[in-house]
Structure 1
Amino acid sequence: MDSAHSTGPTGDYAEITYAVADRIATITLNRPKARNGYTIRMADELAAAFDRADADDDVRVVVLAAEGTDFSVGADLSGGGFDFDAEAGPDPHWQEPAGRCSRRVFLMNKPVIAAIQGASIGGGLTITLPADYRLAASNARFGFVFVRRGIYPEGASAWFLPKLVGLGKAMDWMISGRVFGVDEALAAGLVHSVHEPEELLGAAYELAADLASGTAPVSVAVTRQLLYRMSNLDSPFPVHEVDSRLIASIAKNPDAVEGVLSFLQKRPPRFQLRASTDQPDFLPWKET
């Protein structure tokens, strides 16, 4: 990335950093001495940072990374328990911390690339499942270790994981709670590619740059949510109804014209529509 066009870590963050360069936002877990164990504060800061990236039309892609040798070893409760009184119990609307991040990533209009090195365990793994890409270092290792701690899967991982790797592999990993290596993760489709540790971030930024320069923001936002929200319906017909309205709308879509012209003229596209304001108003999830 070109540092001359970047903004350094900004905002009132204590346990993450946030920076933007070349239309790529980098959100970095920043508790390396604690192996990036996540806390209530980190979970809330992550959700706020994804809010910020999604609201910024100059940001096209988000890279989720981590300082230090490990991505995250999961929940760190050493500073106390949850953010509710243990005797009184939580408010009915309380959300567990990992889910505060994974829910927000699910709702993103922009692609998210997780760059994972070292240990990615428990909630330190579940928060990456809604990402569009997971790139891993060759030294990465993974574990949904909840049953070995007497606790339960979090981050809505029981919904996300089977969609990525199938129910059988999700059962194996979650019911056994075993730690597994990067080769098994790659073979199952949990990660998209494997890189040497020193090359991991470079690979993530190379992918991010391609997405930022070559794809249309509204097309990406709509396609991402089509896949997440409609791919599990019990027939293709509701999806085709939405498809038909979307395809009909391209007659008045300047990005569609630009996409064709840029291809014919063999030049990079200059898409104008914004994901924050220009998505079709008839999308079914807009009503929820």
Structure 2
Amino acid sequence: MAPIPTIDLPASYESLSLTHIKISHSPIGSPTVTPVVVISLNRPENNNAFTPQMADSLTQAFHLFHIDPRIKAVVLTGAGKMFCAGSDLEIGFGDGGGRAVDFRDIGGRVALAIHRCHKPTIVALQGSAVGVGMTMTLPAAIRICHEKGKYGFVFTRRGLTIESCASYFLPRLVGFSRAMHLITTGGVYPPPCRNILAISLPRLSRRRPKFCRLAQDIAEYTSSLASSMSRALMWEGPSSPEEAHLLESRVFHHMVGQPDYKEGVGSFLEKRKPRFKADPRESCPPNFPWWTAANIFLEPSATKTSKL
């Protein structure tokens, strides 16, 4: 069996240099990694338009958060007045050359990284967002928006189809009827954007305590293991209530035997803050994942003909 690859975790996420994004601790400047980290899309001069480099940086960051037991919750926001203006159309998407079977959209890579991360993501859309600026937020646990912002899935108005796994996430979040409306019109709407954005604030302050308060509450009072498994049950659940009952029962039975359950009950009875310690990657149920994940990796191709 091949050895399991290891990744060195940073002593500080603020010291990482990643293109087109910025990572900070909460509070900013903490000498050690904090339970809540904040990622900011960092192209304010371009309204944080999405680029391949930004996609690479976000994917790398969420992979680190996934395996880092010090991280409990993630906030994703943007620098400047707009969350994300969609893909940078000056860069474009190529000319459609090459084999379609080998193409992987960059927004989808980010969406999958957020979806697969055991730590919940809160998206603070401090300004408007369109295109991939919306679709990449769909796997997040919570989306908070500014009531004066505008939000939309404008793909059909650019001659494009949806991406970032939106055909999977969007109907599950808002229902097929609303999803069809949003995609067919390609319109831009104020909040609540047909119920995609769970929370709308009259003024989204840039003060860190304002939009990190919810993430801090999650980090302090919820079990990362229980949160991760609960979200997986909803996203990757069975197709019937009977099957859901059987699956939930198996996972629930596993959770009852975990230290986090004993700590949750104990802290409630003792009227104190819980001290959850379970790492989802080490304490997940034996049947996790209970679904078969599609292989998204590219097939290798031969570069030359062998002389053998």
TM-score, length-scaled by structure 1:
0.89
Deviations 1:31-55 (A, max 9, x none): 0000000011111111111111111
The corresponding residue for 2:76 is 64
Match of 1:154 among 151, 156, 163: 163
- Tell me by how many angstroms 1:174 deviates: 0.9
Deviations 1:229-257 (A, max 9, x none): 00xx3312222222222232245311111
Equivalent position SS for 1:276: helix
Equivalent position SS for 1:189: coil
Percent identity, please.
32
The corresponding residue for 2:137 is 128
- Tell me by how many angstroms 1:150 deviates: 1.0
Provide the aligned length of Structure 1 versus Structure 2: 275
The corresponding residue for 1:29 is 41
The corresponding residue for 1:3 is none
| 2:206 matches 1:190 | no
Equivalent position SS for 2:14: coil
In 2 relative to 1, CA 87–169 (structure 1 residues): closer, same or farther, beyond 3 Å? closer
- Tell me by how many angstroms 1:287 deviates: 5.6
In 2, Cα distance between the equivalents of 1:176 and 1:125? 15
Which letter does structure 2 place at the counterpart of 1:193?
Answer: I
Equivalent position SS for 1:267: coil
In 2, Cα distance between the equivalents of 1:104 and 1:87? 25
Which letter does structure 2 place at the counterpart of 1:273?
Answer: A
Worse-superposed segment, 237-246 or 217-226: 237-246
Task: Return the structure number with greater helix share.
Answer: 1
The corresponding residue for 1:50 is 62
The corresponding residue for 1:272 is 277
Q: Is the 8 A contact 1:115 1:200 kept in 2?
A: no
TM-score, length-scaled by structure 2:
0.83
Q: Is the 8 A contact 2:14 2:24 kept in 1?
A: yes
Worse-superposed segment, 35-44 or 15-24: 15-24
In 2, Cα distance between the equivalents of 1:287 and 1:42? 29
In 2 relative to 1, CA 210–87 (structure 1 residues): closer, same or farther, beyond 3 Å? closer
In 2 relative to 1, CA 8–245 (structure 1 residues): closer, same or farther, beyond 3 Å? closer
The structure whose RCO (Cα within 8 Å, separation 6+) is larger is 1
Give ranges in structure 1 of 5+ residues lacking alignment.
1-5
Q: Is the 8 A contact 1:139 1:197 kept in 2?
A: no
The corresponding residue for 1:96 is 105
Which letter does structure 2 place at the counterpart of 1:158?
Answer: S
Match of 1:208 among 206, 215, 239: 215
Which letter does structure 2 place at the counterpart of 1:67?
Answer: A
In 1, Cα distance between the equivalents of 2:150 and 2:132? 14
Q: Is the 8 A contact 2:124 2:145 kept in 1?
A: yes
Equivalent position SS for 2:37: strand
- Tell me by how many angstroms 1:165 deviates: 1.4
In 2, Cα distance between the equivalents of 1:197 and 1:258? 35
